[in-house]
Amino acid sequence: MNASTMSNRTKQRRAGGLTLLLYQRTLHPELFRINATEKVVRRGYEADVWLIDGGHVVTFTAGKNTLVEIIMTSGEAPTDRGLLQTIPCRGEKYYEMTAPGGNIRYMISTQEEQLTQTLFEATRHEIANYAAKRELMTFETPSTAEAPGTLSVLDIERRSDELLIQSFHLFEETQMVIKTQAIFEVVRSPVANYTPIAPR
């Protein structure tokens, strides 16, 4: 493999990767191109879930405190105000924290895989069928001459004190599949301080 080919592959990986952003405040919908929405209301919390181009946004509010998870293709934060953490979703990552205010515990694991064309198509077909059968939150852009296709699926589990969200984001251009599993938990005995734990 020559240097030019390696350079192009590196650029493709960077272009296809996602970034995790965490905020301690609600973000305005106009910052994103929203393709699908869902609201979750439980006694202990409320959540707004958006599928955006190439990613998703989850706004989780418990009492007076809010934590926002953004998974997006652009590494640039839509705003710096209220930004707690920025983590590239490269390889496999695990991250957990207790948000400012102490009553929201957050955990996420991310997995990024770049597949062969054949395996990518098989994975895309499998995830699309799984989403259709379970009527999951889905947004798909078909491949055109102008732009390659994408598929995003969210599997949302609504518990009384927890919100579990599993996401699948697939990018045809780079044959990239990025999976995330996040848990937002209402802490009944709030922790006094904001305690981020470094990704591992």
Distance separating alpha carbons of residues 150 and 71, to the nearest angstrom: 14
**pLDDT class of 35 with cuts at 50, 70, 90:** very high
- Are 55 and 70 in contact by the 8 Å Cβ rule? The answer is yes
CA–CA gap between residue 149 and residue 167 (Å, rounded): 17
Give me the pLDDT at residue 189, please. 76
Q: Are 178 and 78 in contact (CB under 8 A)?
A: no
Q: pLDDT tens across 111-154, in order?
A: 999 999 999 999 999 999 999 999 999 999 888 888 889 999 99
Contacts of 151 (CB under 8 A, 6+ apart): 124, 127, 128, 138, 139, 140, 141, 168, 169, 170
Q: How far apart are CA 104 and CA 99, in angstroms?
A: 6
Q: Which residue has the higher pLDDT, 179 or 7?
A: 179
Rounded mean pLDDT, 155-169: 97
Report pLDDT digits (tens) over 47-94: 999 999 889 999 999 999 999 999 998 667 899 999 999 998 888 999
- Decide if 182 contacts 107 (C-beta within 8 A): yes
Q: Does 165 or 90 have the greater pLDDT score?
A: 165
d(CA 67, CA 90): 22
Alpha-carbon distance of 51 to 68, in angstroms, equals: 13
Task: Report the pLDDT averaged over residues 149-177.
Answer: 95
Backbone φ, ψ for residue 125 (5° rounding): -60, -45
CB 178 within 8 A of CB 110: yes
Query: Residue 186 has what DSSP assignment?
Result: E
